[in-house]
């Protein structure tokens, strides 16, 4: 399937998202509370000298362990120092210490991560090795050693701790940079002649920014906790008030004055909690905006037809379509789009004898009959987005029915609705799907499970992503056969080997034991075909089975499908965008556009005389067998020489 067209709704969302992360945080109650708390904390740290009623280090013997009162709002500690003043100044030093660790970690980690991720080579291996070493070092031991050698200094120990924390940033930045480094737009910028510094600042930093901010909040919390821990153990500079040293002091008097523990303990706990919550909220907000981008493929499938129709309109006319019009096109169900005239389906008559397959056998009884099928997706606002409308088709035993159309025409949606495997939110909203007399549109999930695999088989477009990388190919073939056909393990293995041989795999045993990544795409598709026919299905649904394959491999897979279809006398629905594939394999074809079938009939008749305007336009766009460009006209090159 050609690539999906742009999803418009997330585009608008993203635009809105770019406005401001900050504003979003304010709208989130948890984020708002965390921000207010941290804001107050920073303010009290800055204005500590103005707010504090007394000097934090002035001891007064009269006030030793004084209770809270007018002179000491929060009481006094074991040396008679004012607790409130100490708490305010401690906030100052604790925050500054944590900030120092954070800045050191971020500067080292981000810069090293950028260089290692972007330029790679020797710096990559050296810095990755160093990062591993730092992570393996027990932080507290290093800090103890540093204190023993360098003396008690909070700033020094926090700077050292920053170095120890830097791998957290390094690994994060390294991972995101190496992910973007090979993006085509970075290559394009390089070809455009941008210097490395410019590429980094324009294309790379934007990607790194968000995760670094989130990580910073996390790291700040850790730094505060560690800093408090060090001071609590008495390793810090006792002349500097900090939450840790207050805790240390209070701990000594825990039996006589347990209240003294409350203030530093709650300051540490609340700050760490606020930072962690803030980090979580930021991640939620940032990833929510990134969400639709990541899930684009699925969401697009879900919303394929109308969205792409809008895009289609714009490519056809190359006209400017305003945002408003696009949105309208999205919201309108295909049927009632203003200005669109729904032409009746052009039906080419069957030959007198009901038609024969390419192998010359007459078709059997009717297997599948789809009538007036409509498929829609529930929207958050309660409306339904219609992606397939009024589609009718039938497949007889031994007949290959092609569904052809461009991306977003609803061909895949139609195929999926027969399997009842529509993505979340999608459902058959009208019409009937009757398979061997049973109505699939209203069958229960249990009934469908019985049919899928056993009576109706499926071949997907991307062979690789449809094999589980963590199991051998053999086990993935054997398992369904044991469940569906009730075979023993030995019987199923034997049958699987036979099938692998049947689909033309040269060394079945080796492929049977192999993992999916050990075989080529063409082989993987053969394996999936073997799996699809393993339970003798009556109907095979093939969704672009050769699109991901090379031309020569495609030809082999098409031959294989043709042979198997004739041998097992299956009915087949073949979804494709390639007219060559239709010409090769199909007996009948339905041309789809914007969720509807516009023309249907026997393949030869449609290829010989297409009647619908859209079908004609598609045929006109085919390049095969067209005129070659011919030799370069010399006059043109001479003109070139004169320039």
Partner 1 sequence: MSELLLDVKDVVVEYPIKGFRKAPFKALKGVSLDIRPGETVGLVGESGSGKTTLGRAVLGLAPVTGGSILYKGADIAHLDRRARRALSSEIQVVFQDPYTSLNPSLTIEQILVEPLTVKNIAAKEASRRVLSLLDQVGLPQSAADRLPREFSGGQRQRIAIARALALEPRLIVCDEPVSALDLSTQARVMDLFKEIQERTGVAYLFVSHDLAVVRNLSHRVAVMYHGEIVEWGDGDQVTARPEHPYTQRLFLAAPVPDPVRQEQRRADRERLLAEQGQQAGVL
Residue with tokens 């940079």, as numbered in its chain: 177
User: Quick one: which of 203, 301, 596, 612 contacts partner 1 (CB under 8 A)?
Assistant: 203
Nearest distance in Å: CB 9, partner 1: 10
d(CA 205, CA 180): 10
284-313 binders of partner 1 (CB under 8 A): 293, 308, 311-312
Contact yes or no for 394/369 (Cβ under 8 A): yes
The gap from C-alpha 314 to its chain's centroid, in whole angstroms, comes to: 27
CA 209, 213, 214: angle at the middle one, nearest 5? 120
Q: Is 227 in the site for partner 1 (CB under 8 A)?
A: no
Q: Is 638 in the site for partner 1 (CB under 8 A)?
A: yes
Nearest distance in Å: CB 612, partner 1: 14
Q: Is 25 in the site for partner 1 (CB under 8 A)?
A: no
d(CA 594, CA 614): 11
Q: Is 626 in the site for partner 1 (CB under 8 A)?
A: yes
247-266 binders of partner 1 (CB under 8 A): none
Q: Is 469 in the site for partner 1 (CB under 8 A)?
A: no
Give the contact letters, 562-581, x = binds to partner 1 (CB under 8 A), - = no. Answer: ---------------xxxxx
Q: Is 582 in the site for partner 1 (CB under 8 A)?
A: yes
Contact yes or no for 535/480 (Cβ under 8 A): yes
User: Quick one: which of 33, 64, 140, 194 contacts partner 1 (CB under 8 A)?
Assistant: 194
Nearest distance in Å: CB 461, partner 1: 14
Measured from the CB atom, is 146 or 194 closer to partner 1?
194
Is residue 171 helix, strand or coil?
A: helix
User: Quick one: which of 19, 70, 197, 319 contacts partner 1 (CB under 8 A)?
Assistant: 319
User: Quick one: which of 559, 567, 609, 613 contacts partner 1 (CB under 8 A)?
Assistant: 559
Q: Kindly report the number of other CB atoms within 10 A of residue 59's CB atom.
A: 14
Query: Which sign, positive or negative, has the C-alpha torsion 77, 81, 84, 88?
Result: negative
Of 359-367, 433-441, 476-484, 546-554: span binding partner 1 (CB under 8 A): 546-554
User: Quick one: which of 256, 470, 488, 552 contacts partner 1 (CB under 8 A)?
Assistant: 552
Residues 6+ apart with CB under 8 A from 270: 37
User: Quick one: which of 55, 196, 468, 536 contacts partner 1 (CB under 8 A)?
Assistant: 196
119-138 binders of partner 1 (CB under 8 A): none
The gap from C-alpha 375 to its chain's centroid, in whole angstroms, comes to: 25
Q: Which of the 8 DSSP states describes residue 360?
A: S
Of 11-19, 35-43, 383-391, 485-493: span binding partner 1 (CB under 8 A): 11-19
User: Quick one: which of 184, 341, 469, 490 contacts partner 1 (CB under 8 A)?
Assistant: 184
Tokens of 104: 């050191």
Nearest distance in Å: CB 468, partner 1: 23
Helix 296-317 / helix 8-19 crossing angle, nearest 10 deg: 110
Nearest distance in Å: CB 483, partner 1: 35
d(CA 631, CA 633): 6
Measured from the CB atom, is 444 or 636 closer to partner 1?
636
Q: Is 623 in the site for partner 1 (CB under 8 A)?
A: yes
492-521 binders of partner 1 (CB under 8 A): 521
Q: Is 324 in the site for partner 1 (CB under 8 A)?
A: no
Measured from the CB atom, is 250 or 572 closer to partner 1?
572
Measured from the CB atom, is 14 or 55 closer to partner 1?
14
Q: Is 341 in the site for partner 1 (CB under 8 A)?
A: no
Contact yes or no for 568/364 (Cβ under 8 A): no
Tokens of 3: 């690539």
372-431 binders of partner 1 (CB under 8 A): 406-407
Q: Find, among 141, 135, 85, the residue nearest to 109 by Cα.
A: 135
Is residue 399 helix, strand or coil?
A: coil
Tokens of 496: 């699987």
Of 125-133, 374-382, 416-424, 553-561: span binding partner 1 (CB under 8 A): 553-561
Q: Is 604 in the site for partner 1 (CB under 8 A)?
A: yes
Is residue 69 helix, strand or coil?
A: coil
Q: Is 544 in the site for partner 1 (CB under 8 A)?
A: no
Bridge partners (DSSP) listed for residue 373: 391
Q: Is 185 in the site for partner 1 (CB under 8 A)?
A: yes
Of 152-160, 222-230, 565-573, 603-611: span binding partner 1 (CB under 8 A): 603-611
User: Quick one: which of 558, 573, 575, 591 contacts partner 1 (CB under 8 A)?
Assistant: 558
Contact yes or no for 562/585 (Cβ under 8 A): yes
Nearest distance in Å: CB 397, partner 1: 21
56-85 binders of partner 1 (CB under 8 A): none
Nearest distance in Å: CB 588, partner 1: 11
Tokens of 621: 């766009």
- Residue 80 CB-density burial (10 A; 0-12 exposed, 13-18 middle, 19+ buried): middle
Sheet hosting strand 366-378, strand order edge to edge:
384-396, 366-378, 426-435, 438-439
Q: Is 195 in the site for partner 1 (CB under 8 A)?
A: yes
Q: Is 191 in the site for partner 1 (CB under 8 A)?
A: yes
Measured from the CB atom, is 3 or 70 closer to partner 1?
3
Measured from the CB atom, is 217 or 603 closer to partner 1?
603
d(CA 194, CA 412): 42
Tokens of 203: 């294309």
Contact yes or no for 262/279 (Cβ under 8 A): no
Nearest distance in Å: CB 384, partner 1: 24
User: Quick one: which of 76, 105, 189, 530 contacts partner 1 (CB under 8 A)?
Assistant: 189
Q: Kindly report the number of other CB atoms within 10 A of residue 490's CB atom.
A: 9
User: Quick one: which of 201, 206, 336, 383 contacts partner 1 (CB under 8 A)?
Assistant: 206
Query: Which stretches of 436-533 are assigned E, i.e. beta strand?
Result: 438-439, 456-459
Q: Is 631 in the site for partner 1 (CB under 8 A)?
A: yes
Measured from the CB atom, is 141 or 621 closer to partner 1?
621
Q: Is 212 in the site for partner 1 (CB under 8 A)?
A: no
Measured from the CB atom, is 294 or 494 closer to partner 1?
294
The gap from C-alpha 523 to its chain's centroid, in whole angstroms, comes to: 27
Q: Kindly report the number of other CB atoms within 10 A of residue 118's CB atom.
A: 20
Enumerate the H helices of 534-578 as residue ranges. 551-568
SS3 letters across 90-105: HHHHHHHHHHHHHHHH
Give the contact letters, 473-492, x = binds to partner 1 (CB under 8 A), - = no. Answer: --------------------
- Rounded to 5 degrees, φ, ψ at 301 are -55, -45
């Amino acid at each position: 399937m050609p690539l999906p067209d742009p999803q418009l709704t997330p585009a608008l969302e993203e635009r809105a998202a770019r406005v401001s992360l900050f504003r979003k945080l304010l709208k989130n109650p948890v984020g708002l509370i965390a921000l207010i708390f941290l804001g107050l904390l920073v303010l009290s740290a800055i204005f500590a000298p103005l707010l504090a009623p007394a000097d934090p280090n002035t001891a007064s013997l009269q006030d030793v362990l004084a209770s809270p009162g007018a002179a000491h709002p929060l009481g006094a500690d074991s040396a008679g120092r004012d607790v409130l003043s100490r708490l305010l100044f401690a906030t100052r030093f604790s925050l500054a210490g944590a900030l120092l660790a954070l800045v050191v970690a971020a500067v080292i980690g981000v810069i090293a991560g950028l260089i290692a991720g972007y330029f790679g080579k020797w710096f990559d291996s050296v810095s990755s090795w160093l990062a591993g070493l730092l992570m393996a070092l027990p932080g507290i031991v290093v800090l103890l050693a540093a204190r023993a050698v360098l003396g008690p200094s909070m700033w020094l120990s926090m700077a050292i701790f920053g170095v120890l924390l830097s791998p957290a940033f390094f690994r994060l930045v390294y991972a995101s940079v190496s992910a973007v480094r090979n993006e085509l737009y970075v290559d394009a910028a390089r070809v455009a002649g941008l210097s490395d510094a410019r590429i980094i600042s324009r294309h790379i930093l934007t990607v790194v920014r968000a995760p670094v901010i989130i990580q910073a909040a996390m790291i700040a919390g850790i730094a505060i906790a560690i800093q408090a821990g060090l001071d609590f153990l008495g390793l810090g500079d006792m002349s500097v008030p900090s939450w840790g040293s207050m805790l240390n002091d209070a701990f000594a008097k825990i039996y006589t004055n347990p209240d003294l523990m409350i203030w530093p303990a709650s300051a540490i706990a609340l700050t760490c909690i606020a930072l962690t919550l803030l980090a979580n909220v930021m991640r939620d907000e940032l990833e929510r905006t990134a969400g639709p981008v990541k899930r684009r493929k699925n969401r697009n499938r879900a919303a394929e037809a109308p969205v792409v129709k809008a895009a289609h309109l714009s490519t056809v006319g190359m006209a400017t379509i305003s945002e408003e019009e696009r949105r309208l096109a999205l919201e309108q169900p295909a049927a009632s789009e203003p200005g669109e005239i729904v032409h009746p389906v052009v039906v080419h008559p069957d030959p007198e004898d009901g038609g024969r397959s390419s192998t010359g056998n007459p078709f059997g009884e009717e297997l599948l009959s789809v009538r007036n099928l409509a498929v829609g997706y529930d929207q958050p606002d309660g409306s339904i987005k219609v992606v397939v409308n009024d589609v009718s088709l039938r497949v007889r035993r031994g007949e290959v029915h092609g569904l052809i159309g461009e991306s977003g025409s609803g061909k895949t949606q139609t195929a999926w609705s027969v399997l009842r495997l529509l993505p979340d939110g999608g459902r058959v909203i009208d019409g009937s799907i009757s398979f061997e007399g049973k109505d699939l549109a209203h069958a229960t999930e249990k009934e469908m499970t019985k049919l899928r695999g056993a009576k109706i088989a499926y071949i997907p477009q991307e062979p690789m992503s449809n094999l589980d990388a963590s199991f051998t190919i053999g086990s993935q073939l054997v398992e369904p056969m044991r469940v569906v056909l009730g075979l023993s393990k030995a019987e199923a293995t034997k049958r699987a080997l036979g099938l692998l041989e049947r689909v033309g795999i040269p060394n079945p045993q080796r492929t049977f034991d192999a993992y999916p990544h050990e075989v080529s795409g063409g082989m993987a598709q053969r394996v999936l075909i073997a799996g699809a026919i393993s339970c003798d299905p009556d109907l095979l649904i093939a969704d672009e089975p050769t699109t991901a394959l090379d031309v020569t491999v495609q030809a082999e897979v098409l031959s294989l499908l043709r042979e198997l279809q004739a041998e097992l006398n299956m009915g087949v629905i073949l979804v494709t965008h390639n007219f060559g594939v239709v010409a090769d394999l199909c007996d009948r074809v339905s041309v789809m556009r914007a969720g509807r079938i516009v023309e249907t009939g026997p393949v030869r008749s449609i290829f010989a005389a297409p009647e619908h305007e859209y079908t004609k336009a598609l045929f006109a766009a085919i390049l095969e067998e067209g005129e070659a460009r011919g030799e370069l006209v010399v006059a043109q090159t001479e003109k070139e020489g004169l320039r």
